[in-house]
Amino acid sequence: MSRRPQQLAAVLGRVQESLAPPDLLAAVQRHWREAAGEQIAEEAWPDAERDGRVTIRCRSAVWAAELTMLESALLEQLNERLPRERQARSLKFTTASSGARFRKRTG
């Protein structure tokens, strides 16, 4: 029986899923850029989680306020990509402290 070639991204995605820590924050971080979009992902990043509530650190208060208004849509888009057993209950948008360097993530 011969195997058909597969897309490298699909294969790596399955490997990453199997190696990833089994917690909600890790799953949210893995899918954030795709769920939120490039522009939002450049300005805000999932930083913490407690009892299903994911804290998103934003580069500025303006971004935190804007994303708070978009919480429902972002939560829905995110949960569509998360396994059923790892669903976020809510998102909380805060401003990264001025002393802390904002984490710019790629991928």
All structural domains of the chain with their residue ranges: 23-95
Per-residue model confidence as pLDDT tens digits over 50-97: 999 999 999 999 999 999 999 999 999 999 999 888 899 999 999 987
| Whether pLDDT at 103 is above 60 | no
Q: Would you state the pLDDT for residue 107?
A: 45
Please name the CATH architecture into which domain 23-95 falls: 2-Layer Sandwich (3.30)
Which residue pairs, CB below 8 angstroms and at least 24 apart, start in 82-85? 82/24, 82/27, 82/28, 82/31, 83/27
- Do the Cβ atoms of 78 and 28 come closer than 8 Å? yes
- pLDDT for residue 1 is more than 60: no
For the segment 13-23, the average pLDDT, to the nearest whole number, is 64
